[in-house]
C-alpha cells in the first residue's frame, strides 16, 4: 500500500521490497498465506515498479529448535544502492516530498535515524536513512550470531546516537515520522489543527499499543473507546485508520484479519472476499 501511495505522490525514488528467498524456491508449497504473499509481490512489481529482492535469513537456524532469523541488517547488503530510507510498517504516507528530499540531499553516513525518546540517547529503528555497506552487514550479522537480540537493540548497540541521528532537512517544517498514539496524548489537544497536521506530516505509523494492528478487524466500540476525545485529533486518527482499511481492500484485495486467528485461516478468508485477482 505504501508503494501505491508513492506512485500517487509521483515520488522519483526507487522502491525496493525484501522478502524471504524461500518464498520463490519452494514452488510446490500450497500454503494459501504464502500464495497470497506471492500474488502481492507480483502486483507490487507490475503496478508500482517495485524491485523485488529475495534475501536469506541472517541466522539460518537448524530447522527445529532454532528458527531462521531475518533482520533489518539485510538492508545493508544492498550495495547497488547509494542509500535507502526504511519506514516501519504499518502506516500511511501523507506526503513523500520531504522524504524524497532527505533521501536525495542528506549527508552520507552509515545510518541516520530518529531518537528513541526525548533524551536522544538511543536511536529508533522506525525511520532510518541507511548507507549500504557489506562491512556493516557482516558486522551486524556476526553480532546477531553471538547474541539473540532484537533488531532495535542490535542497532542501538552498534550505532552511537551521538553520530547517528537524522540531520535537519530543507523541509524542516515537515514532521517526517509520527505515530497515531501521539494523537491521543497531545499536550494541548484543543489547539491541534487537522489541516495543518495533514499538510506538514510525511508518514504516520498506525501504532496504538492497545490494538493488534490496523490490518485487524477490531470492533468499532473498542475503536471508539481508544480514539482521541477531542474532535480535531479524533478526526485525523479515524481518517488514517479507515484509509488504511480501505486501501487494504482497494490496493491489495484483502479483507481485514480477525484477531487471534492463525495466519493461514485469515489469509484464506481474505482470498475468498477479494474483489479481483491482482
pLDDT, residue 262, reads 41
Directed axis angle between helix 151-158 and helix 134-146, to 10°?
A: 120
Each residue's pLDDT tens digit, 162-202? 999 997 654 468 899 999 999 999 999 999 999 999 999 99
Strand partners, 51: 16
Comparing 141-145, 157-161, 270-274, which segment has the lowest mean pLDDT?
Answer: 270-274
User: Tell me, what's the pLDDT at 260?
Assistant: 73
Closest CA to 256 of 219, 209, 226, 208: 219
Instruction: Kindly report, residue by residue over 84-99, the tens digit of the pLDDT.
Output: 999 999 999 999 999 9
This prediction has a pTM of 0.87
Going by C-alpha positions, the residue among 243, 87, 242, 75 that lies closest to residue 177 is 87
Kindly calculate the radius of gyration of the chain based on its CA atoms and give it in whole angstroms.
20
Does the domain formed by 2-272 have CATH 3.40.50.40?
Answer: no
User: How many CB atoms within 10 Å of residue 119?
Assistant: 8
**What band does 71 get if pLDDT is binned at 50, 70 and 90?**
very high
14-53 pLDDT, tens digit per residue, is 999 999 998 988 766 677 888 999 999 999 999 999 999 9
| pLDDT cut 70: percent of the chain above it | 90
Q: How far is CA 152 from CA 118, 166, 180, 232, 275, in A?
A: 17, 16, 20, 33, 37
Q: Note the pLDDT of residue 19.
A: 95
Residue 1 pLDDT greater than 70, yes or no? yes
C-alpha–C-alpha distance, residues 1 and 278, integer Å: 13
Q: What is the mean pLDDT of the chain?
A: 89
Q: What pLDDT sits at residue 203? A: 97
Amino acid at each position: 500500500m505504501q508503494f501505491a501511495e508513492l506512485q500517487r505522490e509521483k515520488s522519483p525514488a526507487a522502491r525496493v521490497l525484501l522478502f524471504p528467498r524461500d518464498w520463490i524456491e519452494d514452488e510446490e508449497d500450497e500454503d494459501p498465506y504464502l500464495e497470497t504473499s506471492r500474488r502481492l509481490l507480483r502486483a507490487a512489481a507490475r503496478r508500482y515498479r517495485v524491485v523485488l529482492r529475495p534475501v536469506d535469513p541472517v541466522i539460518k537456524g537448524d530447522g527445529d529448535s532454532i528458527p531462521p532469523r531475518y533482520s533489518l541488517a539485510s538492508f545493508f547488503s544492498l550495495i547497488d544502492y547509494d542509500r535507502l530510507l526504511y519506514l516501519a510498517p504499518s502506516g500511511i504516507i501523507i506526503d513523500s516530498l520531504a522524504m524524497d528530499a532527505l533521501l536525495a540531499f542528506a549527508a552520507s553516513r552509515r545510518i541516520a535515524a530518529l531518537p528513541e525518546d526525548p533524551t536522544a540517547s538511543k536511536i529508533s529503528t522506525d525511520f532510518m536513512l541507511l548507507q549500504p555497506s557489506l562491512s556493516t552487514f557482516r558486522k551486524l550479522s556476526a553480532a546477531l550470531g553471538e547474541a539473540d537480540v532484537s533488531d532495535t537493540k542490535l542497532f542501538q548497540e552498534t550505532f552511537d546516537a551521538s553520530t547517528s541521528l537524522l540531520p535537519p532537512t530543507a523541509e524542516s517544517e515537515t514532521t517526517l515520522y509520527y505515530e497515531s498514539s501521539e494523537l491521543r496524548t497531545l499536550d494541548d489537544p484543543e489547539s491541534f489543527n487537522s489541516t495543518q497536521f495533514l499538510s506538514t506530516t510525511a508518514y504516520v505509523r498506525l501504532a496504538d499499543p492497545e490494538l493488534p494492528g490496523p490490518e485487524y478487524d477490531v470492533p468499532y466500540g473498542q475503536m471508539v473507546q481508544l480514539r482521541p476525545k477531542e474532535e480535531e485529533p479524533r478526526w485525523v486518527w479515524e481518517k488514517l485508520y479507515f484509509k488504511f482499511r480501505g486501501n487494504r481492500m482497494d490496493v491489495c484485495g484483502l479483507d481485514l484479519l480477525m484477531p487471534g486467528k492463525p495466519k493461514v485461516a485469515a489469509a484464506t478468508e481474505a482470498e475468498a472476499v477479494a474483489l479481483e485477482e491482482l
